[in-house]
Amino acid sequence: MPLETLEDYLAEVLPMAIRIDDYIDAPKKNYVGVGGVLAELMHRRSDYCLSAASYHARNFFVPIVMRHVETAEIAGPLYMVSFAFRRYVMPEGTAHTFTPEPLHTEIRGILKRHSYIGVTEAAYYPNWVTTDDGTFSPVVSYHSHVITSGSSRKTLVRDTAEAAGEESLLRGVSAVDIREVKRERLTEKLLYILKPPHKQYTPYWSKTDKVRVQLGLTPKGTVKQSKKAMRTGLLVQMCNVLRDQRLDELIFGNGAFEPLVQTIVQDARGTLDRRLQRESDRRPR
């Protein structure tokens, strides 16, 4: 179901946060990859941080984003442009070392003439199929969605043409996807790009291409993918992957949206600082 309102978003994400807390609290189920840092993060007042590993933190950060966007003047046609480059697909074991700035810089170069607000997110593929031999391995795909304002489809297609031809997340699928956003669905699309990891994706070949791969032949079609909700253990796994990522660093903007993103980040950080100071003042001395 699409998340049409902020209330929908909070109602979906908060239960995930509670599931993760309960999972970490259960000694017999404690996931071996969850170190002390993540356990501490999830058990303290984690809405006081901006860690992408904390689903509680998203429930703090997303309302701030939505409040500022809803009061901003957004003119012209709206498009959601998604970038999914193969070079940002990382093995699960090293995915925590990802830094978003190179990807953001690349997108700023591609869309330097456009105004947009964007978010980088991580998607988990437990059974990633390679394009050459059909073997499988768990990976994390880092990709970005941006919502542009005031740009036409024609100029977006022109400016992303070179990037669209690069090697994409899925073989045979363009690395860039451009879709119009109706103004009445702007909130829904913003909540979509701000969502935490909660689905796992499985790429697969068509039956014909699967046979060709098994015979050592080059597949003719494209890799497709299915998705399903993550079980709690995988949600915790993604928390571990995102343990070094911050929500205020995964959001980015350009043109008319750049000052808006700066205001969002300053508001979030300032609110956290004031909360932490009040908490400190209440502690016994």
Going by C-alpha positions, the residue among 4, 32, 3 that lies closest to residue 16 is 3
- Condensed to tens digits (0 to 9), the pLDDT of residues 230-257 reads 988 888 888 888 888 999 999 999 999 9
* Beta pairing class for 136-149 and 89-91: antiparallel
Give me the pLDDT at residue 32, please.
Answer: 46
pLDDT for residue 141 is more than 50: yes
Number of neighbouring beta carbons within 10 Å of residue 81: 25
Mean of pLDDT values over 215-238: 76
Which tokens sit at 35?
A: 């170190």
Give me the pLDDT at residue 9, please.
Answer: 86
Amino acid at 139: V
Higher pLDDT, 169 or 129: 169
Mean of pLDDT values over 255-276: 91
Q: Where are the alpha helices (DSSP H) in 71-206?
A: 101-110, 153-164, 186-193
pLDDT for residue 227 is more than 60: yes
| Average pLDDT over the chain, rounded to an integer | 83
Higher pLDDT, 196 or 233: 196
Which helix H or strand E contains 217, and what residues bound it?
Answer: none
Q: Does the CA dihedral 263-268-270-271 come out positive or negative? A: positive
* CA 206 – CA 235 distance, rounded (Å): 29
pLDDT for residue 147 is more than 50: yes
* CA 69 – CA 193 distance, rounded (Å): 14
pLDDT confidence tier of residue 44, bands split at 50, 70 and 90: very low
Give me the pLDDT at residue 275, please.
Answer: 79
Higher pLDDT, 213 or 244: 244
Q: Is 168 in a helix, a strand, or coil?
A: strand
The strand pairing partners of 118, in sequence order, are 146, 252
Give me the pLDDT at residue 15, please.
Answer: 86
Give me the pLDDT at residue 172, please.
Answer: 74
Higher pLDDT, 226 or 147: 147
pLDDT confidence tier of residue 208, bands split at 50, 70 and 90: low
The pLDDT > 70 percentage for the chain reads 79
pLDDT for residue 210 is more than 70: no
Mean of pLDDT values over 111-121: 97
Mean of pLDDT values over 134-149: 88
pLDDT for residue 179 is more than 90: yes
